[in-house]
Amino acid sequence: MSLIIYLDGRFVKEEEAVVSVFDHGVLYGDGVFEGIRAYHGRVFKLKEHIDRLYESAHVIQLNIGLTKEEMTEVVIETCRRNNLDNAYIRLVVTRGKGDLGLDPRKCPKASVFCIASGIQLYPEELYQKGMSIVTVPTRRNNPEAINPRVKSLNYLNNIMAKMEAILSGVPEALLLNNEGYVTEATGDNVFIVKNGVLITPPPFVGLLEGITRNTVMELAREKGIDVQEKLFNRLDVYVADECFLTGTAAELIPVVSVDGRQIGNGQPGPMTNDLIKAYRELTKVNGPLIKNS
């Protein structure tokens, strides 16, 4: 059965959800997006995702044309129309239709579409046993060129790194910045645990400030765990007690090997497992309900 897609003020069948070949999102990656999850009939952390979408649009001077309240209803109604209680939601805003030139002023109106469907980024086995990853040659975009904190449609940097991971026979990769510090994975944030301290890179190093990342930090602090945002390099990862990745699609997934070096005892660590459990419990109660009460 066809999905129902929101597109520029209408709900249409997926076969009818088309954008112009002159859309700047298609031609130049000129736009922003959010990946959002729904669990147990609720859209998880929806306010935070909407806020980040509008911040990204503000940075690239993109007028979305909808209020945050209207956009919130778009997301919820898209889930309703597809009768989904659990879903992966892709919310996209492009610069809209223009011409073949770069000038964004030639795009008078942004295009907005919302897709709600399913996703399984990694097999369940990896959540139980952990994954192996590698560091790849591709470096993270310089924040003064294309700032990774803007969740834009231009993901070629991430895709190139993903390709290098796949060629190395692993599903994910660590990206370093030009100074050699760990930034993030191709689609996830990175955490390490050392001597009971939970450590993740600070946003200025060149990373997307993930909603899941921030949620995990909040959960950890509620548990009395010392959480630090600080620079670290590959050596720090190699000698960490635990390592895991976080992302909307991935949730929390343990890492047990990096560049052939075993992390800790080679199994998902106790802090990682504890935070996975806490995160999954939070998804049961956080976010607006999809169905009308």
Enzyme catalytic residues: 151
SS3 annotation, 159-178: HHHHHHHHHCCCCEEEEECC
CA distances for 82 relative to 1, 47, 91, 117, angstroms: 10, 21, 15, 8
Which among 97, 95, 94 has a CA at the least distance from the CA of 114? 94
- What span, in angstroms and rounded, lies between the C-alpha atoms of 141 and 176? 9
- Does residue 5 contact residue 83 with C-beta atoms inside 8 Å? no
Q: What is the full DSSP assignment across 132-146? A: EEEE-SSPPPPTTTS
How far apart CA 235 and CA 251 sit, in angstroms, is 25
Buried b (16+ CB within 10 A) or exposed e, 9-34: eebbeeeebebeeebbbbbbebbbbb
